[in-house]
Chain A
Amino acid sequence: MPKADNELTWRDLEIGCIATNPGSSSAYRTGDWRSQHPEYDFSRCIKCGMCQMYCPEGCIQTSKEGYFEANLYHCKGCGICARECPVWVISMKEGTK
């Protein structure tokens, strides 16, 4: 069982804090930076994917139905998707959700 982040000691670190596990940054929860979160009205969605292309975090995933939705583990709540959506599916609401 690997240690939790706040249990790691300096002895657990690789030399020079080198990360030896490729892709390990995906474990970093950037979602807790959020002060706003996206809400969706998919009835208007035309599935153009503009939100996904503009998302600077790359955290917008495609659902089985073909809609686009942010993964809140990584979404920082920047609101760029809401600004770029041509049919106003996304609205930013206060709170981290």
Chain B
Amino acid sequence: MTKRVGMEVSIAVAEAVKLADVDVVAVYPITPQTHVVEHIADLVVDGELDAEYIPVESEHSALSACLGSAATGARTFTATASQGLELMQETLYVASGMRLPIVMVVANRAVSAPLSIWGDHSDVMTVRDSGWIQIFNENGQEMVDNTICAFRIAENQQVLLPVMVHMDGFNLSHVIEPILLPDEEQVKAFLPTNNYPLPLHPSKPVAMGDFAPPFIFTEARWAHEEALRNSKRTIVEVWDVFAKEFGRQYKPVESYRTEGAKTLLLTMGSFSETAMTAVDKIREEGLSVGLIRLRLWRPFPFEELREALQGIDTLIVLDRALSTGGPGGPVASEVRAALYSQNPRPQIVSFVGGLGGRDITVENFETIIKRGMEIAKSGSDKEFQMFGVRE
């Protein structure tokens, strides 16, 4: 039997990595990911996790070591944040292009300059097109569950793609939450042995990440696109099996109190829980407003999103990142693109806020919802609203 225990989310993630019985962990510590990798180091040193722990000299090396490890068919984990993710940039595309099932937890944090160690989604957006599966989480339990699910998704023979499991820096990484750590035997049964189809092995030499001349590069990219797009089917299947085994259900797009609502708020990551409280309060005032939470960022869940937004008049999107000099919020921008072909389609109001660790409180969300409804009615000449900026 398992029971809920109070635990820092980063520690819980490290315990989930142990439950997944990984073979290789190559990591470089960076705030706010540090507690994850420190605790995994403890687990390895204490003999609780039988894994090769490679303390490398940079994030570029961390992911490079993971490439080699995953290429041999070893179950491989790493974690990073912000500048570390930036330094991995080159190897991120190699991991996904070579279809290596690496799992990485990203403790989402702002990108310098100015230097900020605090949370937002700027780092995520710089690796949006890196060809990884990307899953967002709202609390510690979801981090544990999706870290475990990520291995089953990544290593599935129909998928074979690396997975980023997003954990909002500080808002999740450094808070203590009640966590239900799944039973070891149950996780073992849930995670089949990693069986990479063409591993590096002396008895059967292969070349990975080879030269692709113009006559074949487009086909290679399309194969990657097909794999990532179709991975959604497996992701949903894995979440359904997880729900059956462990009793907690995840979906690409999740909703909260959307019944009868003509106005919806859309968020991604840990702020969604605050937004739920704001929706409760606004509903008490008699306004029928609901919340949509985007869990799956890549592959982008077009069908599920369109279905979830059917029949509404107004969609208010809060982004924790800024596409500087562009359309404002990256999530809002993609949601707009996904809905442009729909008829009728809702008015979309984009807010950017919660940057570099600034809180969006319940009251802030109430303001965002009400201001968003006003803008939807009156129109605005701005692509987006910068929430809370002192002008």
Interface residues of A (CB under 8 A from B): 5-6, 8-20, 22, 24-25, 28
B205 contacts chain A at the CB level, 8 A cutoff: yes
Q: How far is the CA of A16 from the CA of B216 in the complex (A)?
A: 12
Subset of 20 A-B contacts with CB under 8 Å: A5-B216, A10-B219, A10-B220, A10-B226, A11-B223, A13-B219, A13-B220, A15-B99, A15-B160, A16-B99, A16-B198, A17-B216, A17-B223, A18-B207, A19-B207, A19-B208, A20-B198, A24-B207, A25-B207, A28-B213
Whether A5 contacts B219 in the complex (CB less than 8 A), given A16-B98, A18-B98, comes out as: no
Whether A8 contacts B207 in the complex (CB less than 8 A), given A14-B198, A16-B97, A16-B98, comes out as: no
Q: Shortest beta-carbon distance, B214 to chain A, in Å? A: 10
The 7 closest A-B pairs by CB, nearest first: A16-B99, A10-B219, A19-B207, A10-B223, A16-B98, A10-B222, A17-B220
- Determine whether the beta carbon of A16 is less than 8 Å from that of B208: yes
- Determine whether the beta carbon of A18 is less than 8 Å from that of B206: yes
Q: How many residues of B contact A (CB 8 A)?
A: 24
Q: Which residues on the B side are within 8 Å of A22 (C-beta)? A: 205, 207
Whether A5 contacts B215 in the complex (CB less than 8 A), given A15-B198, A18-B207, A20-B206, comes out as: yes
Q: How far is the CA of A48 from the CA of B226 in the complex (A)?
A: 54
Whether A16 contacts B160 in the complex (CB less than 8 A), given A6-B215, A8-B219, comes out as: yes
**Nearest-neighbor residue (CB-CB) of B200 within chain A:** A18
Q: How far is the CA of A5 from the CA of B99 in the complex (A)?
A: 22
B307 contacts chain A at the CB level, 8 A cutoff: no
**Nearest-neighbor residue (CB-CB) of A15 within chain B:** B99
B107 contacts chain A at the CB level, 8 A cutoff: no
Q: Mostly helix, strand, loop or mixed at chain B's interface?
A: loop
Q: How far is the CA of A16 from the CA of B196 in the complex (A)?
A: 11
Q: Shortest beta-carbon distance, B37 to chain A, in Å? A: 27
Q: Shortest beta-carbon distance, A15 to chain B, in Å? A: 5
Q: How far is the CA of A34 from the CA of B327 in the complex (A)?
A: 46
- Determine whether the beta carbon of B206 is less than 8 Å from that of A19: yes
Q: Which residues on the B side are within 8 Å of A8 (C-beta)? A: 215-216, 219
Q: Which residues on the A side are within 8 Å of B198 (C-beta)? A: 14-16, 18, 20
B197 contacts chain A at the CB level, 8 A cutoff: yes
Centre residue among A15, A17, A20, A25 by max chain B CB count within 10 A: A17
- Determine whether the beta carbon of B223 is less than 8 Å from that of A13: yes
Q: How far is the CA of A5 from the CA of B206 in the complex (A)?
A: 19
* 7 new A-B contacts at CB < 8 Å, known A10-B226, A16-B100, A16-B208: A5-B215, A14-B198, A16-B97, A16-B99, A18-B210, A20-B206, A25-B211
Q: How far is the CA of A46 from the CA of B334 in the complex (A)?
A: 69
Against A, the Cβ 8 Å flags (1 = close, 0 = not) of B80-120 are 00000000000000000111100000000000000000000
Q: How far is the CA of A8 from the CA of B129 in the complex (A)?
A: 25
**Nearest-neighbor residue (CB-CB) of B98 within chain A:** A16
- Determine whether the beta carbon of B212 is less than 8 Å from that of A17: yes
A-facing residues in B128-186 (Cβ within 8 Å): 160
